[in-house]
């Protein structure tokens, strides 16, 4: 599923739907262009979970944990790591939920992961085609691809809210 994200608000709104509906132990692998909106999407997930604390990029801290919402949010950024260093983080403890409370795991620069969980969703945030421009800037897009996990209901909510927004904007 590909969605056009017209502005920062649209990226936040997509994240909020995910934060409202994703079950515990969901793993969201965020891939795509530099500065395309990965952290913004996770900020939306935080809002959807009911987290009021500001969600900041974990580029330097590697992992930020937020426990205030409906489920814990584990926000990781692998940008600065080599695959070998990623291995030593024992990422599986986050999605196995054995040593940590099961929550939503959102990983920026997931391309750097040498292995993946059994089930996950890849959200690829990319810039659209050259001609796809708004206010002189190339429009962003999100592509959502589930791997061995059922998110049909969430996709349906995303569609219905996009349609609502479009009909609202056209009034």
Ligand X SMILES: Nc1ncnc2c1ncn2[C@@H]1O[C@H](COP(=O)(O)OP(=O)(O)OP(=O)(O)O)[C@@H](O)[C@H]1O
Run of H or E including 157: helix 152-169
Question: In the bound complex, what is the minimum distance in angstroms from residue 152's beta carbon to Mg ion?
Answer: 28
**What residues pair up with 126 in beta bridges, in sequence order?**
141
Is 90 near ligand X (CB under 6 A)? no
How many residues does this entry show for the chain? 171
β-bridge partners, 64: 75
57 binds Mg ion (CB under 5 A): yes
State yes or no: residue 111 binds ligand X (CB under 6 A). no
Four-residue CA torsion sign, 3, 142, 72, 27:
positive
Show the site string, 82-111: x = touches Mg ion by CB under 5 A, - = not. --------------------------x---
- Give the span between the Cα atoms of 141 and 4, in whole angstroms: 4
For ligand X, what does the binding mask look like between residues 13 and 42, x meaning CB under 6 A?
---------------------xxxxxxx--
**Of 102, 29, 98, 92, nearest in space to 72 by CA:** 102
- Site of interaction with ligand X (CB under 6 A): 5, 7-8, 10-11, 34-40, 108, 125, 140
- Site of interaction with Mg ion (CB under 5 A): 38-39, 57, 108
């Amino acid at each position: 599923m590909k969605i056009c994200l017209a502005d920062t608000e649209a990226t936040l709104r997509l994240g909020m739907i995910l934060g409202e509906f994703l079950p515990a132990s969901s793993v969201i692998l965020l891939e795509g262009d530099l500065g395309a909106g990965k952290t913004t999407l996770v900020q939306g997930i935080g809002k959807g979970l009911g987290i009021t604390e500001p969600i900041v990029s974990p580029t330097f801290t590697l992992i930020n944990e937020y426990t205030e919402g409906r489920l814990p949010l584990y926000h990781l950024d692998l940008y600065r790591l080599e695959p070998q260093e990623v291995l030593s983080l024992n990422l599986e403890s986050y999605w196995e939920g054995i040593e940590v409370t099961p929550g939503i795991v959102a990983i920026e620069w997931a391309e750097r992961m040498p292995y993946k969980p059994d089930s996950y969703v890849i959200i690829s945030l990319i810039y659209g085609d050259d001609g796809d421009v708004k206010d002189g800037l190339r429009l962003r897009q999100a592509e959502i691809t589930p791997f061995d996990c059922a998110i049909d209901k969430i996709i349906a909510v995303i569609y219905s809210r996009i349609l609502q927004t479009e009909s609202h904007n056209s009034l």
